[in-house]
Structure 1
């Protein structure tokens, strides 16, 4: 199934032609990767500007850490962290702004401020009204499979089951297929072996007929395989997204944008084809 091109915010996305890079902005004090900018909107905006200058196609802003064991935050705290940053990024950057949230109130405020993607780690399944919000604003959604508290035997069967539920919710809300981006949930209630299987088997998600996103950046599975701390996982992340692109990833969500833009470009040249300049 060939997905239609779609406009998300200020940009067109031609799924299947190349890999798009999503830069991560954590406006939190407790990001697992240690790159949170706390409550400093200026630092968040500066980091996002640098990412776009380095080639990021989208920026994802999160105000609540989703790492295992993170302390939950209330709606007011998350809004205070996210909204000033989203407002400024929408005004200043020529790329779509995504908000990473599980809360309908935060999603509604961010969309009203100009965000054009909702990134929901519960895949709309916890709050189906998130889908209606996205449809009302003609926004895209990233729907994730999440194995936390979800008993399963075969990881890919479980991922596909959850993502089909998410797609059904999005369909009922009227969100077009090309704006429903599926994420297998690398590191969300999954074992290291399951995470590696997920990347190796990513092509199985193609049967869903939706763009595919994966976010392995700096995660603990890479650290475990390589026996490296979080800030030394760039090469492991690069290897992981290279395989993911070969297996069909359309979007890679990353911290280290300059390096991963180059990695994605090279992987695309090999997997999707390349024409030398001037030909």
Structure 2
């Protein structure tokens, strides 16, 4: 059989397989709950070996055990702990194929005229420096392994539209987009792809907490947040975002199906950032 045809056939088999990440090794920061946990489950269902890196020890350990993965305590603001999380993957399976830099915290509100720089630096240490740490140590390991790899970073719709979140959170998430594009330019020569996801209105624990504060309703549940987003924050009226929607997007960027995609920001927002949804009456005569 022709060598090129054989390679093409093998690639197609892998892409069409129900286990799209079969045998691949992934590290997910902030993987114990929310988007990270949903992605960990989807990765495992698709054949990946998953290391969950988080500061929620009990929840993270339980999830890792349930999917046949590993858990490591990791505060992403500390470079040595991110390095250790990557080393856990290599020591466990001998390689790293996927790095999902997902850990982050909500910003603090208030006017730019009253912003407290110590709070800003704390947020940047996690939301931005944590991503730098993840890209740095994943790239080092992937380059040494000479197999390429894929790095995915969590940004936000707040990086695309103003007024959706606090100044600090918005700044950190927009900076991630620039960092991903820049590192994609450097790392492509090693076969390493770097991409972002930007969810909007997905009912993670962080977003539900913010909605509870904003609406003054501590009893607000994730499904109720999803319903609110479906009615007010989506062009797909009645269809709010789900954690699984984001997990499936990350799966695409982690898999060989996106093999020619790098430096890209995949927005998961029901079309919200593409148009002012209240103007939809123009098209409904």
TM class by shorter chain equals: 0.3 to 0.5
Larger radius of gyration: 2
Give TM-score scaled by structure 1 length.
Answer: 0.41
Give TM-score scaled by structure 2 length.
Answer: 0.40
The one of the two structures with greater contact order (alpha-carbon pairs below 8 A, sep at least 6) is 1
